[in-house]
Amino acid sequence: MSLSVNGRTKVFGIFGWPVEHTFSPMMHNSAFNSLGLDCIYVPFPVSPDLLGKAVEGIRSLGLSGVNVTIPHKSNVINYLDEVSPEARLIGAVNTVTNKDGILTGYNTDAMGFVKSLKLDGGTDPAGKRVMILGAGGAARAVSIQLALSGIKTITIASPVAEEINSLSETITGSLNISVNGINWVKENISSCLEGTDILINATPVGMHPNTNVMPPVEVGLLPEHAMVCDLIYNPGETLLLSKAAELGLKTLNGIGMLLYQGAIAFELWTGIEPPIEIMRDALKRALTR
User: Residue numbers of the site for ligand NAP (CB under 6 A)?
Assistant: 109, 134-139, 158-160, 163, 184, 202-205, 207, 231-233, 254, 257-258, 261
Element (H, E) at 228: strand 227-230
Tell me whether residue 115 is one of the annotated catalytic residues. Answer: no
Task: Provide, rounded to whole angstroms, the least separation between the CB of residue 1 and ligand NAP.
Answer: 28
Tell me the helix, strand and coil percentages in the chain, rounded to 5. Answer: 40, 20, 40
The answer to whether the CB of 233 falls within 8 A of the CB of 211 is: no
Least separation, in Å, of the C-beta of 221 and ligand NAP? 19
CB nearer to ligand NAP: pick between 29 and 261: 261
CB of 101 to ligand NAP, least distance (A): 29
Least distance in angstroms from the C-beta of 81 to ligand NAP: 25
Cβ neighbours of residue 43 closer than 8 Å, sequence gap 6 or more = 13, 14, 16, 19, 20, 22, 24, 25
Of 120 and 281, the one with the shorter C-beta distance to ligand NAP is 120
Beta sheet of 10-16, edge-to-edge order: 39-45, 10-16, 65-68, 95-99, 102-106, 82-83
What's the rounded Cα separation, in Å, for the pair 117 and 16? 27
Q: Which is nearer to ligand NAP, 98 or 112 (CB)?
A: 112
Which residue among 73, 115, 152, 284 is the active-site one? 73
Looking at the Cβ atoms of 135 and 198, the one nearer to ligand NAP is 135
Please give the positions annotated as active site: 73
